[in-house]
Amino acid sequence: MKVIESRTRVRYKETDQMGIAHHSNYVVWFEIGRTDLCRETGFSYRDIEKRGSLLVVVEIGCRYRTPFLYDDEVVIRTSVREVASRSMTFHYELVDSSGEIHATGFSKHLWLDRETRKPVKADAEVMRAFAPFLP
Amino acid sequence: MKVIESRTRVRYKETDQMGIAHHSNYVVWFEIGRTDLCRETGFSYRDIEKRGSLLVVVEIGCRYRTPFLYDDEVVIRTSVREVASRSMTFHYELVDSSGEIHATGFSKHLWLDRETRKPVKADAEVMRAFAPFLP
Amino acid sequence: MKVIESRTRVRYKETDQMGIAHHSNYVVWFEIGRTDLCRETGFSYRDIEKRGSLLVVVEIGCRYRTPFLYDDEVVIRTSVREVASRSMTFHYELVDSSGEIHATGFSKHLWLDRETRKPVKADAEVMRAFAPFLP
Amino acid sequence: MKVIESRTRVRYKETDQMGIAHHSNYVVWFEIGRTDLCRETGFSYRDIEKRGSLLVVVEIGCRYRTPFLYDDEVVIRTSVREVASRSMTFHYELVDSSGEIHATGFSKHLWLDRETRKPVKADAEVMRAFAPFLP
């Protein structure tokens, strides 16, 4: 299982009045990780959409252990957890620069045809590029 | 089990290039529901924080069925699912104005002391106000 | 000059670690006002896009006087300030429920053809509907 | 005049149904630039707040020329434009990796005492660190 690391910093905008990064941002950070993992396969998600597919989110989950604070570096560790002909699940760990896990989560996706918005089988060429990332 | 209904409309800012409301907003809409449920108890969440407690998020989950589009009305149906001495779980249904369910989700929370940021037992007076909302 | 009032509440997500609503949200609240003003003309902005035009933002400005806090009601007072054949400027006042002004701002927009993304003259039928709102 | 460069990529979350980065994100990107410029002075904005001052936003403006698309790299060029005893104005250029300017903007700020939330003179030690960045 290949893990892709992305890095971002907690923006002031992402803090809330508890003085920590608001929990909804974790879901957005997951998306950064997904984008970077796609890019690593050789098919950026931008290209995947241009080829006619959408990878829509059908489920997400996140467990929060330790908050991130403003300006903290967030390391997003993304991997592919499950693959089926029409769906795909990503797994995420959010760690700090010392490697301590702050949160874990997943997102489950379905392949849709971009025009009809109906579920379709994954683009075979794209899936070949994902092969080295599959569990 | 008492269910509180809140209403919001999908903002243009909340759409993404798929032409639908981005999935991370659902978590923010849940929070609107939670805020409104607290207000209904007589203790607004703003008051709860002033009294010295924080209700931090320790887990969230959301299942997406049908997208919301720009300017759609989103009806947030919020209820309390589980209560323990130190934690609380809310359940959410996001429906449209016809009552069709677009998504369901939950958020699990822990009570923290606002100063020490350590887990504490729920504020007894607040919990009495929540009593009619408990399952 | 007709002024349209919209109402929203400061979401927890919209606060930052200063304990106030983050300034970037004001721009999003302006958009709520714009959406509501369009709806009042009889052409919702959703319809306007379906008819083939986009009203893109080319400039924004905002002056901040008094912060909004979590759960405060924000009243958005939106009006059309200037209209030309290819552009339109909206003006905004953000007031609280007592009528006190917390911020003022504007957004300048250009009409684009949705397909070519080139500047075009405003849709004549839409502009007729806007007539009662023009300064 | 010293210019600090920061880099970010347009997140999927930051796109809207026009298929471009939503204009409100530019204001958030400005803040990334501001954070990085502060860090370069030796006083991170996190430290500045800890020392007891807040640099609140009193005015923003942005002019949009060319949109950014999903996954585009955004280069934020930040500089200090004006300094007075109690205020400070930053200027921003958002360019792409080829150097083409997509947007320009500014933000004007006031120094507040973190406890009283009253306007104060800038922290002298912090301003000494900013000296090489002043126009």
- Report the mean per-residue pLDDT for chain A: 97
- Across the interface, of B13, B15, B17, the residue whose CB is closest to D70 is B17
Domain boundaries, chain D: 4-133
Q: Any chain D CB within 8 A of the CB of A73?
A: no
CB-based contact A63:A34 (threshold 8 Å): no
Confidence label for C10 from pLDDT (cuts 50, 70 and 90): very high
At residue D99, the pLDDT reads 96
Where residue A102 falls (left for φ over 0; alpha for ψ -120 to 50; beta otherwise) is: alpha
At residue A119, the pLDDT reads 97
Q: Which residue has the tokens 């207000």?
A: B39
> CATH classification of D4-133, choosing from 3.10.129.10, 3.40.980.10, 3.40.50.300, 3.30.160.270?
3.10.129.10
- Cα separation, D107 vs D81, in Å, equals 10
Given a cut of 90, whether residue C71 has pLDDT beyond it is yes
CB-based contact B126:B72 (threshold 8 Å): no
CA D95-D96-D100 angle, to 5 degrees, is: 65
Active site residue A16: yes
- Cβ contact D71–A45 (<8 Å): yes
The CATH number of the structural domain formed by C4-130 is: 3.10.129.10
What is the SS3 assignment for chain C? CCCEEEEEECCHHHECCCCCECCHHHHHHHHHHHHHHHHHHCCCHHHHHHCCEEEEEEEEEEEECCCCCCCCEEEEEEEEEEECCCEEEEEEEEECCCCCEEEEEEEEEEEEECCCCCECCCCHHHHHHHHHHCC
Average pLDDT of the residues in B26-32? 98
- Across the interface, of B9, B28, B35, the residue whose CB is closest to C71 is B35
At residue B135, the pLDDT reads 87
What is the SS3 assignment for B59?
A: strand
State how far the alpha carbon of B109 is from the alpha carbons of A64, D78, D131, in Å.
Answer: 10, 39, 46
Q: Any chain A CB within 8 A of the CB of B23?
A: yes
CB-based contact A98:A47 (threshold 8 Å): no
Instruction: Sort out which chain C residues have CB atoms less than 8 A from D19's CB and list them.
Output: none
At residue A90, the pLDDT reads 98
Given a cut of 90, whether residue D1 has pLDDT beyond it is no
What is the SS3 assignment for A51?
A: coil
Q: Any chain D CB within 8 A of the CB of A28?
A: yes
Q: First vs last Cα of chain A: how many Å apart?
A: 5
Given a cut of 90, whether residue D65 has pLDDT beyond it is yes
Q: Which residues of B are catalytic?
A: 16
Given a cut of 90, whether residue A24 has pLDDT beyond it is yes
At residue B129, the pLDDT reads 95
- Cα separation, B4 vs B78, in Å, equals 5
pLDDT in tens, B102-122: 999 999 999 999 999 999 999
Hey, what are B55's tokens?
Answer: 């209700």
Give the whole-number percent of chain D exceeding pLDDT 70. 100
Given a cut of 90, whether residue B100 has pLDDT beyond it is yes
Q: Any chain D CB within 8 A of the CB of C101?
A: no
- Cα separation, A126 vs B102, in Å, equals 29
* Amino acid type, D9: R
- Report the mean per-residue pLDDT for chain B: 97
Would you call B49 exposed, middle or buried from its count of C-beta atoms within 10 A (0-12, 13-18, 19+)?
middle
At residue C19, the pLDDT reads 97
Give the whole-number percent of chain A exceeding pLDDT 70. 100
Q: What are the DSSP calls for B11-47, one per residue?
A: -GGGB-TTSSB-THHHHHHHHHHHHHHHHHHT--HHH
Confidence label for A1 from pLDDT (cuts 50, 70 and 90): confident
At residue D68, the pLDDT reads 98
CB-based contact B74:B96 (threshold 8 Å): yes
Give the whole-number percent of chain B exceeding pLDDT 70. 100
Given a cut of 90, whether residue D135 has pLDDT beyond it is no
Given a cut of 90, whether residue B20 has pLDDT beyond it is yes
Chains in contact with chain B (at least 3 beta-carbon pairs closer than 8 A): A, C, D
Given a cut of 90, whether residue B1 has pLDDT beyond it is no
Hey, what are D55's tokens?
Answer: 């640099």
State how far the alpha carbon of B127 is from the alpha carbons of B65, B87, C85, in Å.
Answer: 33, 11, 59
pLDDT in tens, C18-52: 999 999 999 999 999 999 999 999 999 999 999 99
pLDDT in tens, A58-89: 999 999 999 999 999 999 999 999 999 999 99
Average pLDDT of the residues in B21-45? 97
Hey, what are B96's tokens?
Answer: 């449209």
Instruction: Sort out which chain C residues have CB atoms less than 8 A from B39's CB and list them.
Output: 71
pLDDT in tens, D6-56: 999 999 999 999 999 999 999 999 999 999 999 999 999 999 999 999 999
Confidence label for C7 from pLDDT (cuts 50, 70 and 90): very high
- Cβ contact A31–D12 (<8 Å): yes
Instruction: Sort out which chain C residues have CB atoms less than 8 A from B12's CB and list them.
Output: 31, 35, 45
At residue D18, the pLDDT reads 97
A62 contacts: CB under 8 Å, gap ≥ 6: A23, A26, A27, A30, A103, A104, A105, B59, B60, B61
Given a cut of 90, whether residue C111 has pLDDT beyond it is yes
* CB environment D28-45: b (16+ within 10 A), e (fewer): bbbbbbbbbbbbbbebbb
Average pLDDT of the residues in A13-42? 98
Q: Any chain D CB within 8 A of the CB of B106?
A: no
